[in-house]
Structure 1
Amino acid sequence: MFYVLVVILFGLSSDFADGTCNFPSTLTDGTWVSAEKGDLVLSGTSILSYPVLITGVSTFDFNCIDQSGTTFLFQAVEFQNVFGVITRFFLCLDIQEINGNVLKYFVGTEYDVFVKDFIFPLADAIAALAQACNRATPYEPQTYITLVKSGSVADGSAPIQCPDGLLAVFTSVAISGQTCANSVLDVCSNRTQMNFTMDTPCATELTFSAGGQYSCLHHVTSGQTTYLSLWNNDASPTYQFSCFAFEVVGDVVTATETIKYCTATTDHVTPGTRDTIVGKTIVAQDPSEKCVTLGATSCTFPERLKGVWITSDSTIFRINSTTLHGYPVNIPGYRTIDLTCEEVNQTKYKLRSIQQTLVFGLTVNMFLCMDIRPSQDNYLYYVGTDFESFLNDALLGSINSTVTFDEVCNRPEPYDVDSAVMLVKNASSVQGIPCPQSTRFMYRSLSVVNGTNITYCNRSQLDVCEDTTRMRIKINDTCGTALATTVEFSCLYYEESYNTTYLYMDTNDSNMMSLVDHNIICAELFNVSGGLVMTIYKEYCSDLMNTDPILFLRLSSAENCQSHLTDAATTPSSTLPADSSFTTYFIIGGVIVLCIAIGVIVMIIISRQKMCFQCRLQPQVPDSGQQFTDINL
């Protein structure tokens, strides 16, 4: 026979609170509203009146007993006698700061079928953090649960500006497949709020807010979907929180709404089901007005800045109207980031990274100030952000999603002249570099591949031996029109990843130029047995997953450059007099070795000068250690 005896211990026992926990500084005593549990009372490092679903019990009081980074282990003051054995209850929460009035947490405990909640029961023992925190990590980013200080939405301190893609007045709204005439989503009248005005036939198909008004609190982006936590502004809401998962393509917002917070399977197409309540699908389109105005001016790059640029420190990135793609960084786990333009003041641009990074378990947004100035026919730029040691780069890190222009553009002026980076669009003015080692052959067999069709090009070849900074392709006119019969590519920059090399090259070939917007192409080089596969794409390597190739070549019959040059040599094999002594050979050999040594030294000096200019911004290691709190939060 199963029986449960509930024993309530009045007051908070000091035996549980051992003082080993330190909550985030913004998680102060008082009432906080959880998207999962409703009102919670915080006192010291205890959570009071935490709702539970255990038979005969409505709430538990939890004390924090252990901590690892942002992960906290709580033990309930209450316990139960199950089959004559004392059973204690534990809760694992990963709590992260967002701002002074909003935090988020992840439940780190798996669901227990007997407790019917995300609580870890343990008979006759005290659980360790590793036992109770049994949910697999990393947590799905969209499953965060918002925690808001009571009263901070009403006084206006908690809401944030809604994400840029929503800042418009949409005049066509469909909910759960039902198109609603004369229905509007207005995110411009108040850019911290989403206001739905629903008209017939949507009187019976509404959002989870009866009044249709929400305040934006926090959002994260994962993959193609942005997950926005919303506060329902109804006077007596059925559900205080919603998770609005959306994607913006052109002028169309495709979204889902899930009550409370998103599930692990929620995205902008598939709504979540929580507490048996199935989420809604929402499509908003046909904007009559857009209000993406950040700071004093809307941020767009000048027309002349758009395109693919080569920098004087040997990197390549691309700029469109509002985004800089492929900016090189030294952040652990990243080689490049993409930056959106948020604000411009004369020549200075405040940019925010689309990607985020984790530092000590905190989700950190990254910001960059670029001072871009015209220089003759090109541009140069200075980085206007100081070096940040935790990010290992000249970027501003913040757990806040919005920071001021002055916080980002914090590097003192005037800038050091030698920290300028030249931007060059005319590749002919950039000195070529040696092509990748894997390409330095004479390939005497060349085929053009189109799907399953392979066209062998007789009397065609690719030569990287005559000049190792250039690829020369000779191809007969039976192999298509993508290339002229003779074309040269100049190697500009490359990166190697496992067995694949991504190589930027420029060309003045008229046939190729007709297929690209500028004179730069990206070649994906893949070594195969007996040869090389070269796939040529339009302009930018980061677009390979979304771009069809211009040309697909298979190269074989490779001869290394030394053999090629030896075969081509016409000079007699013996150029020394018959009576040359050993001393003569020794002197000649010594001169050759000396020349090689000098060449190596010169190459090292040149390569050091070409290293990422941000290294010059890196400060000396301070005498005293920095804290993460030094980051401008």
Structure 2
Amino acid sequence: MNPLIIVYLLQIAVSPSLQVCSSVPDALDGVWTSTSLETITISSSAMTLSMTKTFHSSLSGSNFECVLNSGTQYVFKMNETVPILSGTLQVYPYGCFDFRQAGTYSYYFYLNSAEEITLGDLRFKAVLSGSVDTITSLTDICDSSTVDTAEFYTMIKSGSESEAISAVQCPDNILGLFQYTYTDQTGTYCESVNTSTVIACSNQSYAELEIDNTGCTTKEPFYSAGGQVGCIANVYKSSTDTYYTSYYNRDTSLSTTSYQFTCVAMQKTSNGTVFLSLMPTDCVSGQSATVMPTKGTLQGATMVLEPTYTCKEKYFAHLQ
């Protein structure tokens, strides 16, 4: 056999199977407002992703290119290095984005990597600048086994917020009129206040909640001053019978106590009582509907909803 052919075959045998990013869906094109990664801009033609959230104060933004993909997972490599450990090392952040379409103009996604302490505990993998050539397979970056069902991020198409909300129905568990009790780290509020209500029957799409706190103004449930929030993504965990829902706040401007997004864990009992735990921006790993969630210094809240009627009961009563 020709010696050159032998060398070539040996190279095939010992070299890793190089993969490349083949495409990014057109539906991801555009500018998106996200929960924790701020403004995300995606180009399907250039196969790039940028976000205003930065990994280091020396950077004005974070720009990535797609380098690998398979199924719903896309590995994006940042095109600049980030100094870590007081500048002694330079790393490229890699993100394994697992995109799931929630509605026409909203997505939820997971970052399928372990938390990286040198990158602010975000689920991006730090690859030393001299080790980039070793990243040849999706499994070099992606590992969904470390990610809990509740740990999803949400993004909504900028300029299409109303359309995004109307396309996603809220979970059946919350489709009704409820009186609520609200608890946070400072105490419990709104007990036995008939005029403090949550309702999801205002329109036939059942895509929005209206929260009336006029009888108990101390707290603003769902971190919304106006009390109008829309469901934009639902994730169900069958093992605990828990819905995780991302809500978008319709307030035209945000106060110091309000947030654009709230993530809620929800469970319903056989008698119709609904338990909620609310976390500003994103849910946290293992979040339970009955336990107040925390992440670092950020503390959430819980609510107990007692039903007056369901949306279906109201609809059928109207027909009679």
2:110 alignment partner, one of 106, 111, 127: 106
Distance apart, 1:55 and its partner CA: 3.8
Q: 1:78–1:88: 8 Å Cα contact kept in structure 2?
A: yes
Two-structure CA RMSD over aligned residues (Å): 2.7
1:169 alignment partner, one of 177, 197, 202: 177
2:74 alignment partner, one of 55, 69, 72: 72
**In the alignment, what sits opposite 1:154?**
162
**In the alignment, what sits opposite 2:61?**
59
Structure 2 counterpart SS, 1:111: coil
Q: Distance in 1 between matches of 2:303 and 2:242?
A: 14
Q: Distance in 2 between matches of 1:132 and 1:156?
A: 31
Is 1:284 the counterpart of 2:305 in the alignment? yes
Aligned sequence identity (%): 22
Q: 1:25 to 1:49 in 2, by over 3 A?
A: closer
Q: How does 1:234-633 map to 2 (within 5 A)?
A: 234-237=251-254, 238-249=258-269, 250-274=271-295, 276-287=297-308, 289-292=309-312
Q: Distance in 2 between matches of 1:98 and 1:204?
A: 30
Q: 2:32–2:156: 8 Å Cα contact kept in structure 1?
A: yes
Q: Distance in 2 between matches of 1:149 and 1:75?
A: 23
Distance apart, 1:291 and its partner CA: 1.4
Q: Distance in 1 between matches of 2:21 and 2:276?
A: 42
Distance apart, 1:50 and its partner CA: 4.4
Structure 2 counterpart SS, 1:215: strand
Q: Deviations over 1:186-243 (max 9, x none)?
A: 1112321111111344424643112221101221221221111111111123421111
Matched letter for residue 37 of structure 1: L
Distance apart, 1:280 and its partner CA: 0.7
Structure 2 counterpart SS, 1:207: helix
1:197 alignment partner, one of 212, 215, 227: 212
Distance apart, 1:72 and its partner CA: 1.3
Q: Which runs of 5+ in 2 are unaligned?
A: 1-18
Larger radius of gyration: 1
Q: Distance in 1 between matches of 2:211 and 2:274?
A: 14
**In the alignment, what sits opposite 1:184?**
197
**In the alignment, what sits opposite 1:21?**
22
2:51 alignment partner, one of 36, 49, 52: 49
**In the alignment, what sits opposite 1:121?**
126
Q: 1:61 to 1:275 in 2, by over 3 A?
A: farther
Q: Distance in 1 between matches of 2:297 and 2:88?
A: 35
Q: 1:174 to 1:265 in 2, by over 3 A?
A: same
Structure 1 counterpart SS, 2:145: coil
Q: 1:53 to 1:272 in 2, by over 3 A?
A: farther
Matched letter for residue 39 of structure 1: T
Distance apart, 1:37 and its partner CA: 1.4
Q: Distance in 2 between matches of 1:104 and 1:33?
A: 12
Q: Distance in 1 between matches of 2:221 and 2:117?
A: 34
Q: Distance in 2 between matches of 1:207 and 1:66?
A: 37
Distance apart, 1:297 and its partner CA: 7.5
1:132 alignment partner, one of 127, 135, 141: 141
Q: Distance in 1 between matches of 2:152 and 2:221?
A: 25
Q: 1:135 to 1:71 in 2, by over 3 A?
A: same
**In the alignment, what sits opposite 2:12?**
none
TM-score (norm 2): 0.77
Q: 2:105–2:164: 8 Å Cα contact kept in structure 1?
A: no
Q: 1:242 to 1:205 in 2, by over 3 A?
A: closer
Q: 2:274–2:306: 8 Å Cα contact kept in structure 1?
A: yes
Q: 1:118 to 1:142 in 2, by over 3 A?
A: closer
Structure 2 counterpart SS, 1:203: coil
Matched letter for residue 131 of structure 2: A
Q: 2:148–2:286: 8 Å Cα contact kept in structure 1?
A: no
Q: Distance in 2 between matches of 1:64 and 1:213?
A: 37
Count the aligned residue pairs: 276
Q: Distance in 2 between matches of 1:156 and 1:76?
A: 29
Is 1:40 the counterpart of 2:60 in the alignment? no
Q: 1:291 to 1:252 in 2, by over 3 A?
A: same
Q: Deviations over 1:554-608 (max 9, x none)?
A: xxxxxxxxxxxxxxxxxxxxxxxxxxxxxxxxxxxxxxxxxxxxxxxxxxxxxxx
